[in-house]
Chain A
């Protein structure tokens, strides 16, 4: 590990200082002179015809500035969807309008009906209570299969049905898959639910819109993972503001996990209202409001068939999934169950034919979109649970069954379109077996049994596609945006650098890790490199942070820009030392002439660039600033193996996580400490999904889990210390850093490990239970045990 703080060093984070001293600048910390406050009146019914909104009593109440309804947005576009999926018949998906404020109907509890802008939040809330809303209730469409039945109430009356799309992949392989299943020596089938989750970043969403009368510029401060994307979507598709008149700033953001990717109605509202009222307009989401307005995650119902031959080789996989879109299409929603899920159904295995069918369904619930892992946890869960079940049915060791089916030759073209560049799944499984002390399990089992408890061991693998994504490819798949990333590296005369990146950090530590990369490339101290992100006014257009893409894509852009910087600096150095460019070597921040003791320091070169008195002006311009846009050639494919040990109290059904080991291959690593932290956080979320979390609605579409009183968030006493390892490294072959990304792995790989462990505990305890749907709460586990 480098002692100098470059690539591979666990540098402490510089952003910590402001966070630890209470000097963070989160969006709710921003207060503008003269700001007004908006409160949204939201539907408390899941489905109904909006017959009238009478604001007359409210309008004159103390402090009220203006009340807005859908009518005020007649000339404004609806919230756009950023991905158009084409179904298995070649037809484009059904795409309903998503108005900023509810128009004609309310379609989920939480659907915003009116926006009250007032001098204070409390006055806005007071006025909200005086608004008379006339809604004729309609039946709530809650069950996905029922939603697709003939005669079902439609969530959107202008669509032909509640089916968004019926997607098949790869359609040409469907018959071969069906045949392989018919011919199989053994078929294991599993029906399962990937439970609906609420991301619950600890910082609730906030938006502050501002309008400058003299310049005509609009500014939006927002809790976003991708300010440029918001600027594009909102500017081009909703409010009709060109980019150069619209600035979007995402300052310190307190976690995202996907929920802060999307362009939300509240953002458009605050920007619009600030201009309409000529005052800053601020919205702060309360946590209970967040439960009904932040995009939810997951919510798939799946049936998976795994076919094996007589030697236990996987011969085919077929899945049928119902994927909940919610009431409207959120920004990336259609792509999650399709391109980010179907393409991962091969997993770590060399199954020759695979067919995935996904029916995306509208229901009267909050819109669903990406949440940490976005489609990959769903794919991994189905695959790793059915493999586990198959191992039990066949009486074979679950690790051995996986190993014999591993992909071992790379690059590997899967039957679901993606090609894995590199990987070594035996290595991570070997590492896992070592880390998890599996040979000690029997003794630990006996100890648990002596206490009257059951104990189980669950193992699984995962692979994910991240570092999203090649623009051409996703364009063909229906993306309405590119997925490149950008960086401008500006060197200052006295030698410091500023990296302006299109990536965004909301916990990932880019200010530290990105600086390490650039510093390492040049050979200077990381504290000479400043990383700037989050403000569209001073960063190049980038697509933001999600999908474990920052280092793989954003980092690559930054590397390319830095390479350009170094190339130019070499020319300057050559000129300064009167040598030929080809003889210049750069090491530890010194440019030297090969074979001589002549050298100039980085600082000499940077000064020369900005004070070009002794300078090759005929060949190159003064200055030292370069920009690069990097479009990845492929996804990256981190992979690994996880093991979980649980203890189960049979009298109460309570499951505790006793041990968790994660062996990951992330390719090259920049900051091991940060990488481990990302895995820890992902593991907690995956454990949360498996044992505790679940967004629940009743049959009338009322949110039963409307706060932390009913939605269980993992606490410190719900998890142990984790054992994580990323020493197995097969570098990515197609980006300059050889990195694969690590942000989502923990959340992708852990739910199957936990559930496999619980099933193992139950089976060892004499209970013939083959599956329990997540979350495996004490009540559900106990009830399953009663038979």
Chain B
């Protein structure tokens, strides 16, 4: 790795200041993705601002609107254990990586990175969640902006994510056999005002909503409603682990299985 300093602020305001007073400062969440990147020398920050020690960014609670509010520095294992009111979210968190990764990886880190094969973006998008930063609130539909890109400004950090709890939901993930990231993952959430279906792992642009499936499921929330629906594989990621057509197939299959499990 290149050399850098590490700062461990305990308050959001201090973290924001540390990130804004140098363009080469980078936030450090759980480090499970950033540290391997640094080892390859693919990033060269001069300062890492560690966000895991900020208590106000950690924890799970429920707000007055009944949304599950998860602090951005909450680890996957904490969400798996503590988000019982939203079982599909807890299950998703409990299946990210492996136990040691889950003890360190954070919600905020995952979302800010927006890996096209990550699980959490599909939960945020399918829940219609709100991403809260130190300066504003961003709706899920506006947050994800393409491969490894989000709506976050330089120096802006996620402090919390508020998840509306759907009536029914499930996440089905088909593992990329090597990395155990999602080769394709489908998060289906039935809300009072309609169904949202978020697919991760399939598109170069990252997580997206499958509008056709949402429309079908909104009028009939059943596996049968999805019969005959398919996605176009030609626009999807095609690599060693699967062709675009294969991913399109998986997206449909995982969506059906999520509906069956919801």
A residues sitting closer than 8 Å to B (CB atoms) are 122, 125, 129, 286, 288, 651-654, 692, 696, 704-705, 708-713, 777-779, 782-783, 786
Q: A520 to nearest B CB, angstroms?
A: 43
Whether A778 pairs with B3 at a CB distance below 8 angstroms is no
Whether B246 pairs with A122 at a CB distance below 8 angstroms is no
Q: A710-B179, A712-B177 are in contact. Are A783 and B253 (CB under 8 A)?
A: no
Q: Which of the listed residues A692, A705, A708, A782 has the most CB atoms from chain B within 10 Å of its own CB?
A: A782
Whether B178 pairs with A711 at a CB distance below 8 angstroms is yes
Whether B177 pairs with A778 at a CB distance below 8 angstroms is yes
Which single member of A652, A705, A713 contacts B240 (CB below 8 Å)?
A: A705
Q: B171 to nearest A CB, angstroms?
A: 16
Closest 3 CB pairs of A and B: A779-B242, A712-B178, A712-B177
Which B residues lie within 8 Å of A778 (CB)?
Answer: 174, 177, 183, 242, 246
Q: Cα distance A710–B176 when bound, in Å? A: 9
* Total A-B residue contacts, Cβ distance less than 8 Å: 50
Q: Cα distance A704–B243 when bound, in Å? A: 15
Which B residues lie within 8 Å of A713 (CB)?
Answer: 178
Q: Cα distance A286–B36 when bound, in Å? A: 12
A-B contact pairs, 24 of them (CB 8 A): A122-B1, A125-B41, A129-B41, A288-B40, A651-B249, A652-B249, A653-B246, A654-B174, A692-B178, A704-B240, A705-B178, A705-B240, A708-B178, A709-B179, A710-B240, A710-B241, A711-B178, A777-B177, A777-B241, A778-B177, A778-B242, A779-B242, A779-B246, A786-B245
Q: B84 to nearest A CB, angstroms?
A: 25
For A692, give the chain B residue with the smallest CB separation: B177
Q: Which of the listed residues A651, A696, A779 has the most CB atoms from chain B within 10 Å of its own CB?
A: A779
Q: Cα distance A534–B252 when bound, in Å? A: 56
Whether A783 pairs with B243 at a CB distance below 8 angstroms is yes
Q: Cα distance A710–B177 when bound, in Å? A: 8
Whether B246 pairs with A782 at a CB distance below 8 angstroms is yes
Please, what's the 1-or-0 string for B208-242, where 1 marks a CB less than 8 Å from any CB in chain A? 00000000000000000000000000000001111
Which A residues lie within 8 Å of B246 (CB)?
Answer: 653, 778-779, 782-783
Whether B3 pairs with A122 at a CB distance below 8 angstroms is yes
Q: Cα distance A710–B178 when bound, in Å? A: 5
Q: Cα distance A713–B40 when bound, in Å? A: 21
Q: A69 to nearest B CB, angstroms?
A: 22
Flag whether B250 is at the interface (Cβ < 8 A).
yes
Q: Cα distance A114–B164 when bound, in Å? A: 57
Which A residues lie within 8 Å of B41 (CB)?
Answer: 125, 129
Q: B250 to nearest A CB, angstroms?
A: 6
Q: Cα distance A712–B249 when bound, in Å? A: 22
Q: Cα distance A705–B243 when bound, in Å? A: 16
Q: Cα distance A502–B114 when bound, in Å? A: 54
Place the interface of chain B in its size category: 20 to 34
Q: Cα distance A652–B243 when bound, in Å? A: 12
Q: Cα distance A129–B42 when bound, in Å? A: 13
Which A residues lie within 8 Å of B242 (CB)?
Answer: 778-779
Which B residues lie within 8 Å of A704 (CB)?
Answer: 239-240
Q: Is the interface of A mostly helix, strand, loop or mixed?
A: loop
Which A residues lie within 8 Å of B243 (CB)?
Answer: 779, 783
Which A residues lie within 8 Å of B239 (CB)?
Answer: 704
Q: B238 to nearest A CB, angstroms?
A: 10
Q: Cα distance A708–B97 when bound, in Å? A: 13
Which A residues lie within 8 Å of B249 (CB)?
Answer: 651-652, 782
**Supplied contacts A692-B177, A779-B246, 8 more A-B pairs, CB within 8 Å:** A286-B39, A651-B249, A651-B253, A654-B174, A705-B178, A782-B249, A783-B243, A783-B246
Which A residues lie within 8 Å of B178 (CB)?
Answer: 692, 705, 708-713
For B117, give the chain A residue with the smallest CB separation: A709
Which A residues lie within 8 Å of B39 (CB)?
Answer: 286
Q: A554 to nearest B CB, angstroms?
A: 36
Q: Cα distance A286–B40 when bound, in Å? A: 10
Q: A192 to nearest B CB, angstroms?
A: 20
Which B residues lie within 8 Å of A692 (CB)?
Answer: 177-178
Q: Cα distance A786–B39 when bound, in Å? A: 41
Whether B177 pairs with A652 at a CB distance below 8 angstroms is no
Whether A652 pairs with B253 at a CB distance below 8 angstroms is yes
Q: Cα distance A712–B181 when bound, in Å? A: 12
Q: B249 to nearest A CB, angstroms?
A: 7
Q: B51 to nearest A CB, angstroms?
A: 24
Which A residues lie within 8 Å of B179 (CB)?
Answer: 708-710
Which A residues lie within 8 Å of B183 (CB)?
Answer: 778
Q: Cα distance A300–B246 when bound, in Å? A: 27
Q: Cα distance A657–B191 when bound, in Å? A: 39
Interface residues of B in 180-196 (CB under 8 A from A): 183
For A710, give the chain B residue with the smallest CB separation: B178
Q: Which of the listed residues A129, A708, A709 has the most CB atoms from chain B within 10 Å of its own CB?
A: A709
For B253, give the chain A residue with the smallest CB separation: A651
For B256, give the chain A residue with the smallest CB separation: A651
Which single member of A286, A651, A708, A779 contacts B241 (CB below 8 Å)?
A: A779
For A288, give the chain B residue with the smallest CB separation: B40
For A706, give the chain B residue with the smallest CB separation: B40
Whether B174 pairs with A652 at a CB distance below 8 angstroms is yes
Q: B202 to nearest A CB, angstroms?
A: 13
For B40, give the chain A residue with the smallest CB separation: A288
For A709, give the chain B residue with the smallest CB separation: B179
Which B residues lie within 8 Å of A777 (CB)?
Answer: 177, 241
Q: Cα distance A288–B39 when bound, in Å? A: 10
Q: Which of the listed residues B178, B245, B250, B253 has the most CB atoms from chain A within 10 Å of its own CB?
A: B178
For B180, give the chain A residue with the smallest CB separation: A715
Q: Cα distance A786–B233 when bound, in Å? A: 14
Which A residues lie within 8 Å of B177 (CB)?
Answer: 692, 712, 777-778
Q: Cα distance A134–B178 when bound, in Å? A: 35
Please, what's the 1-or-0 string for B6-43, where 1 marks a CB less than 8 Å from any CB in chain A? 00000000000000000000000000000000011100
Which A residues lie within 8 Å of B174 (CB)?
Answer: 652, 654, 778
Q: Cα distance A712–B239 when bound, in Å? A: 14
Q: Cα distance A696–B179 when bound, in Å? A: 16
Q: A685 to nearest B CB, angstroms?
A: 16
Q: A206 to nearest B CB, angstroms?
A: 17
Q: A289 to nearest B CB, angstroms?
A: 11
Q: Which of the listed residues A652, A653, A713 has the most CB atoms from chain B within 10 Å of its own CB?
A: A652
Q: Which of the listed residues A286, A711, A777, A778 has the most CB atoms from chain B within 10 Å of its own CB?
A: A778
Q: A683 to nearest B CB, angstroms?
A: 18
Q: A453 to nearest B CB, angstroms?
A: 13
Q: A707 to nearest B CB, angstroms?
A: 8
Q: Cα distance A122–B250 when bound, in Å? A: 43
Please, what's the 1-or-0 string for B242-260, where 1 marks a CB less than 8 Å from any CB in chain A? 1101100110010000000
Q: B219 to nearest A CB, angstroms?
A: 24
Which B residues lie within 8 Å of A709 (CB)?
Answer: 178-179
Which A residues lie within 8 Å of B250 (CB)?
Answer: 652
Q: Cα distance A692–B40 when bound, in Å? A: 25
Q: Cα distance A652–B41 when bound, in Å? A: 36
Q: B247 to nearest A CB, angstroms?
A: 9
Q: Cα distance A288–B40 when bound, in Å? A: 9
Q: Cα distance A10–B241 when bound, in Å? A: 42
Which A residues lie within 8 Å of B245 (CB)?
Answer: 783, 786
Q: Cα distance A708–B243 when bound, in Å? A: 20
Q: A202 to nearest B CB, angstroms?
A: 16
Which B residues lie within 8 Å of A782 (CB)?
Answer: 246, 249
Q: B244 to nearest A CB, angstroms?
A: 11
Which B residues lie within 8 Å of A710 (CB)?
Answer: 178-179, 240-241
For B241, give the chain A residue with the smallest CB separation: A779
Which A residues lie within 8 Å of B1 (CB)?
Answer: 122
For A128, give the chain B residue with the smallest CB separation: B41
Q: Cα distance A122–B240 when bound, in Å? A: 32
Q: Cα distance A476–B63 when bound, in Å? A: 82
Q: A48 to nearest B CB, angstroms?
A: 22
Whether B240 pairs with A696 at a CB distance below 8 angstroms is yes
Q: Which of the listed residues B3, B183, B249 has the most CB atoms from chain A within 10 Å of its own CB?
A: B249
Which B residues lie within 8 Å of A288 (CB)?
Answer: 40
For B252, give the chain A residue with the smallest CB separation: A651
Q: Cα distance A404–B253 when bound, in Å? A: 45
For B247, give the chain A residue with the smallest CB separation: A779
